[in-house]
C-alpha cells in the first residue's frame, strides 16, 4: 500500500514527531511504500524522496481532472 504521512516537522522534536517517525519505520518494515510530507529540516534538506511521492499524487490528480474526475481524487483540492 502507498501511504503518505504528513506532519509539520520531520525530526525528533516532540511526541507527535516521534510517533510519526516510528510509524514510518513500522509501515516500511511491513512492506508498505511510505512517503513523508513535512517542512524541511537542515538534517533532511537533501532527502527529495518524500516529495517524489507527492509529485506523483499531484500528477494523478491532474490527469483525473482532465478526464472528468470520476475516481479517487474527485473531491480532492490540491
Query: Cβ-count burial of 10 within 10 angstroms (0-12 exposed, 13-18 middle, 19+ buried)?
Result: buried
Flag whether pLDDT at 76 surpasses 60.
no
Look at 2 and 28; give whichever has higher pLDDT. 28
- Dihedral of alpha carbons 62, 66, 68, 70, sign: negative
Q: Is 45 among the domain residues?
A: yes
Identify the band that residue 46 occupies on the pLDDT scale cut at 50, 70 and 90.
low
pLDDT band at 66 (very low <50, low <70, confident <90, very high): confident
Between residues 59 and 46, the one the model is more confident about: 59
Q: Would residue 14 count as lying in a domain?
A: yes
35: containing domain? 2-66
Q: What is the pTM of this model?
A: 0.53
Is position 77 within any domain?
A: no
Domain total of the chain: 1
Amino acid at each position: 500500500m502507498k501511504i503518505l504521512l504528513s506532519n509539520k516537522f520531520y525530526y525528533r522534536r516532540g511526541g507527535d514527531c516521534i510517533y510519526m517517525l516510528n510509524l514510518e519505520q513500522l509501515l516500511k518494515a511491513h512492506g508498505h511504500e511510505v512517503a513523508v510530507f513535512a517542512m524541511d529540516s537542515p538534517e533532511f534538506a537533501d532527502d527529495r524522496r518524500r516529495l517524489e511521492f507527492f509529485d506523483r499524487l499531484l500528477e494523478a490528480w491532474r490527469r483525473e481532472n482532465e478526464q472528468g474526475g470520476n475516481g479517487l481524487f474527485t473531491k480532492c483540492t490540491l
